[in-house]
Each structure stands twice: as C-alpha cells, then as structure tokens.
Amino acid sequence: MNITFTDERLEKILAKARQGSRLSKEDGICIYETKDLMGVGMIANEVRSARHGKKAYYIYNQHLNYTNICKNRCQFCAYAKDRKESGAYAWSIKEIEQRLMDRIDEPVDELHIVGGLNEALGFEYYIDLLKTVKRIRPAATIKAFTCVEIDYLSRLSGLGIDQTIAQLKAAGLGMMPGGGAEILNTRIHDTLFPKKIDHTRWTHIVKAVHKAGIKTNATMLYGHIETIEERVAHLITLREIQDETGGFSAFIPLAFHSQNTKLSHLPPTTAMDDLKAVAAARLMLDNFDHIKAYWVMIGEPLAQVALSFGADDLDGTIMEERITHTAGARSAKGLTQNQMETMIRKSGYEPVQRDSFYNPKTDAAIKP
C-alpha cells in the first residue's frame, strides 16, 4: 500500500518498518514530534495488521484495589491516603472474599490486584489474599502486585527478592501488571516519586520476576513533566529488557490524569498525545507482541480509534477500577462483555476474548 506523508522523515521509518529493521532513538523522537498524525498511524497500523490482522483482544477481568493507604505518596497519585485520612481503607480478607463472591456467577478469567504500600498489613496478609482468591477463583489468573509492591514485600518479609517471588508464586501469583515504572528516569523519579523504587531497582526486580517464569506487562505514564526524549529512552529500556528476558506480555501507555493530584495544574493529555503514544509503542517495541489501548484512561471512543493506530488489545471489562477514576477519569467504571465486543466490532475489528496469556477463548464469543 502506498502511503503519502506530509512529513518526509516518516518515509525512512516506513521503510525500516517494512524491512523489519529496529527504529532508533531519533526515529522515536520523530514519531512524537511530527504533526503528521495520520502518517504515523498508517505505519503503526500496517505493523499491527501484519501481526494480528483484524483481531482485537479483550479479557473478562475484575480489579481488586485492596488498600489505598500508602507510605510513598507520589505527586502524580490521587488514589493514595494516609492511614487516618478521610476515605482511607484496607479490605480484610473477608471483605475481599465477599467482593469475589458478589461476582461469582460471572465468567471472570483474571483478577487484577494492586494497592498502596500499607504498613499495617503484614506479609501473611498478601499470602492469604492470594490463597483466598485462588480458592474462590481456581481457574482464573491472578495478576497481582507491581515491582514496587514486590520490593516492599521483600523488605516486609525479610526475604530476598527471589524468595519473595517464589512464595507469592506458590500462593497463587500467576502474572504481574506493569505499573510502578512510570518513566524510567532519575530526574523524574527524584522529582515526582522519590520514595518509590528507582529505575535501577525496578529493572532488577522485573528481570527477577521474568527469570522466575512469571510474565508481566510493561507501562509508561506519560503527559506530566517528562520530555519526548525521556519517553523514547523509556521505550528503548523496555525493549532492551525484553531482548534479554522475553518476559513482557504487553505494553500499556498510561495517560496521566492530574485531577486531585499535586500536579493538578497540568492539562490532560490530548487525543494527539494518546494516539502517538500507542503508535510510538507499536513501532519502537518491535519485540512486544501486544500493545494495549487502555480505555479506562483514554476513554472508550478514543480507544476504538487507537485500534487503527497500533493497538491490538483493549484490556478488559475492568469491573470496579478505582485508581484512575480517583484522578478524574470519565470513562465507565466497568464494561460488560457485550459492550466490549460491540465497541471492537464497531471499530471494524474482530473481537477475540482471551485469557491472561493471549490464548483465545473460542467457546466464549458473543455473536453480533
């Protein structure tokens, strides 16, 4: 297919994409800088189509954000609370069990479990949490705890990282989300989340998790104080880790929401920002199979458009999402399976319900 660009720099990127050549830092910067959004989108869509055709994936999942009490209090976070602050909570194991039982008749395939670093919860709480979820949902994958939480649990337990991961895995941990990386950069770490582990520690932990046979996602939080160069460097770092471990399942660009944070003066990301983030990921991360358009953060309509800008996955039904909505997200707090499939079909794609590891659930398709 012939593509005409208004930015001639994209000709070289298209040629590299068609040859299967790896894009450079300069190419990544060009993707973010160019005003030729449609040109970037067409290249990313060509790469996406070569990998996945017209398939667009989603999963039937439920979120469990077990506590919002957190000692780190990152500047970009609207979710975290101090222990005595109004609205602070920590679910007991009984409360978690009840939330699972409330949806026990639904075909949930994945439990996405993350929370704050709550110093009132002991290591056994996390083991009990995993065992409880596994007992109630034995067939579902437990996708739980970021690398930040793994670091915290290692310190809490007094065990090394490898031993901590082994105990969590034995209790039911099947996969991990990609949060906590934000932007893998010292300047941004020291400015926005100095109490959180830095990029060196995050990288060490994610490699240990992959070595233990646990797949993770990868993310990038964009739209705050980072530069284009720092975004591209982040993507290249993830690409290098994937070269080494092969442990990343998918990449999710996360659009920053500033409402109710210490960065509330910052404007929201634009559609241009969001679509470029998806396209840049698809083109730079040549060793990642899947790129997600996280509808919770960019909204359902734009997530549909993102399927033509390099994304092949809309994440899932995401019942009871709390973290992004605390920061002002206006998307739904959950979608039904029928809504997910309708959203994909109306975008011109074929919905594929999957499990956590991208195996299609062929018996679960909803007919149009």
Domains of the chain as residue ranges with CATH: 9-348 (3.20.20.70)
- pLDDT-based confidence at 330, cuts 50/70/90? low
Q: What percent of the chain has pLDDT over 90?
A: 83
Q: Return the higher-pLDDT residue of 111 and 2.
A: 111
pLDDT band at 204 (very low <50, low <70, confident <90, very high): very high
| Model confidence band, residue 78 (pLDDT cutoffs 50, 70, 90) | confident
Cβ neighbours around 200 below 10 Å, total: 11
Tally Cβ neighbours within 10 Å of residue 140. 22
The pLDDT of residue 289 is above 90: yes
Give the CA angle between residues 287, 253, 274 to the nearest 5°. 120
Q: What is the pLDDT of residues 117-160, one digit of tens each?
A: 999 999 999 999 999 999 999 999 999 999 999 999 999 999 99
Determine contact, residues 343/305, Cβ cutoff 8 Å. Answer: no
Q: State the chain's mean pLDDT as an integer.
A: 92
Q: What is the pLDDT of residue 292?
A: 98
Residue 321 has pLDDT above 50, yes or no: no
Task: Determine the pLDDT at residue 364.
Answer: 45
pTM of the shown model: 0.93
- pLDDT for residue 333: 61
Beta bridge partners of 61: 110
Structure tokens at 329: 């997200």
- 233 has a pLDDT exceeding 50: yes
pLDDT of 2 reads 80
Q: Residues 80-107: pLDDT tens digits?
A: 788 888 989 999 999 999 999 999 999 9
Among 111, 119, 167, CA closest to 141: 111
The residue ranking higher by pLDDT, 324 or 5, is: 5
Q: Is the pLDDT of residue 367 over 70?
A: no
Mean pLDDT of the 172-199 span: 94
- pLDDT for position 61: 94
- How large a percentage of the chain has pLDDT more than 70? 94
The confidence score (pLDDT) of residue 81 equals: 85
Q: Does position 306 have pLDDT exceeding 90, yes or no?
A: yes
Residue 324's alpha-carbon distances to 146, 172, 332, 354, in angstroms, are 16, 26, 11, 24
pLDDT at 55 over 50: yes
Residue 349 DSSP symbol: -
Average pLDDT over residues 17-39: 98
